[in-house]
Structure 1
């Protein structure tokens, strides 16, 4: 894949990690972990909305996210940066690309939840860290030490076992991993703050979302919009979408993509448990072995991260 032409300030950010400050790194870790906790339990909300339809859910979550983000920007007087993003043609092309990737990811994920394929969706987010590692190595020049390489190797084995357990090519999983992996890359390199960048993305998608909602109401009637419970759940898709994405955008600009990638095992692990324990999806022994290896990979990577942090503190 070739990247779109970038503004000088964007290209500069691809050369090295943006932040090396320990406090910023710690804040990035906390934000990223919180985002993955949100995403881990998100299937519960979408399962409650399974009668609405995946396209309408994505359209509604886009619009309600835009409203919430608009309020946040209005309070913080952050619309100036949004105007700069949307009036710079080179930056706008990056925003348009990240928007397309994000919306595609949303549609795939909501559809997977609706059709009882949360286990495969969780598999996709198990793959996603490897996509992040590959992107970090190819485009950002990131390199791994020995323990990180071991952790990644264990993850590769786990993912191979998971594919065997599925018994078919995991098209949903691969698509989810690729769309979100490249979305993370462009969010890391885009010259925008978390709130202004996400607002710009939802603003680009909003006309299409509004047109679909209007079309749906015109052809099918008010439907879920006339049901107070369903309407409340649809409104909640706004904060359920915007809050973890803001946390993710904050974290991804303060951490190496490799670190972000390995932390992402938390969300699919929660989704995995939700699929089996709450939704009753079938769990076989092969998938269970893969699940254990994934956690082993995360444990090795976490140990190495803490070891390096201790060494840095000792050196300081």
Structure 2
């Protein structure tokens, strides 16, 4: 039974990452629409969909209770700021022919997470993590030196998303309630933008296709989130998630090269090669830690009470 749950969880979680990885195909149809407008409608339509998702998954609604607690509200406000920056930059990148650099950002996110862990949480690096960190830093350093301009898009997404992960660890909130709370906190800013741009947005231009696409930005965001939340609950081997998360930037990279025909010169190839090698080391370390944890749990079960 447990094996069936684990396989089902793996299937749904993998499906979520595949959908996330193919999202640039959807946003290509919104080229010409301001990234901030896309972000605003994505937020507004996400709130009712999150409510539906909470109902479908029979998740206890704790959103308003969380927002009323000062400490929790503080961390949620910070996490909302980080995920908002990540969403905006991701949207800007995929609608401005920068899918390759967005892909690099998600490959570098573990680097940011490890650096935060070392300097903020005082964590110690394993040998494999240290080697992975070195190769990722080499890749990023090479990109800074070889590219025509500083890769601000890559750095912005990686730092925002890496910080988001750290902040989420500071308060115990389930995925769906946490994201619903964050969406609610984004609503005033989305409304402020849309009211300020009244009459000047692509949505107001009475373009039917654009209106429908802007409305669909929410389900494109929420559906894979629901699959992810549904799948993770059924996965026993959580280290698989550490590896599966690289499906998204890998698909971004493949789309950038083979579908959107973005240039991959020798400098970018060297950058990605160094970062990919670092990723392989990250994956090996995750597998090693997972196996060690399973052995320890098995040994504890065998010890007589």
State if a TM-score over 0.5 links the two structures: yes
Conserved? CA contact 2:10–2:231, under 8 Å: no
Change (3 A) 1:235 1:112: same
Q: Distance in 1 between matches of 2:22 and 2:289?
A: 31
Q: Is 1:235 the equivalent of 2:215?
A: yes
Paired residues of 1:101 and 1:179 also in contact (CA < 8 A):
yes
Partner of 2:172: 191
Q: Secondary structure at the match of 1:112?
A: helix
Listed one character per residue, the Cα deviations across residues 128-171 of structure 1 (whole Å, up to 9, x for unaligned) are 22111112223334333222322232222222233334232111
Q: TM-score, normalised by structure 2?
A: 0.80
CA distance in 2, matches of 1:216, 1:70: 27
Structure 1, unaligned stretches of length 5 or more?
1-22
Do 2:143 and 2:267's aligned partners in 1 also have CA atoms closer than 8 Å?
A: yes
| Residues in 2 aligned to 1:29 and 1:141: alpha-carbon distance in whole angstroms | 32
1:207 matched residue in structure 2: 188
Query: Residue 135 of structure 1: SS of its match in structure 2?
Result: helix
Gaps of 5+ in 2: 299-305
- Tell me if the contact between 1:194 and 1:250 (Cα under 8 Å) persists in the aligned partners: no
What CA distance in whole angstroms lies between the structure 2 residues aligned with 1:104 and 1:207?
15
Structure 1 residue 209 displacement after superposition: 1.5
2:65 is matched with which residue? 84
| Within-5 A mapping of 1:260-271 | 264-271=245-252
Matched, 1:73 2:54: yes
Structure 2 CA distance for partners of 1:183 and 1:145, relative to 1, 3 Å: same
Alignment of 1:79-118 (within 5 A): 80-118=61-99
1:55 Cα offset (Å): 0.9
Q: Counterparts of 1:12-31 in structure 2 under 5 Å? A: none
- Compute the RMSD of aligned alpha carbons: 3.6
In 2, the alpha carbon distance for the partners of 1:25 and 1:130 equals 28
2:159 to 178, 182, 190: 178
Question: Which residue is 2:303 aligned to?
Answer: none
Q: Deviations over 1:277-301 (max 9, x none)?
A: 2222211012112323333323333
Give how far 1:27 is off. 9.6
> Which residue is equivalent to 2:301?
none
TM-score by length of 1: 0.77
Say if 2:80 and 2:185, in contact at 8 Å, map to a contact too.
yes
Secondary structure, in 3 states, of the residue corresponding to 1:218? Answer: coil
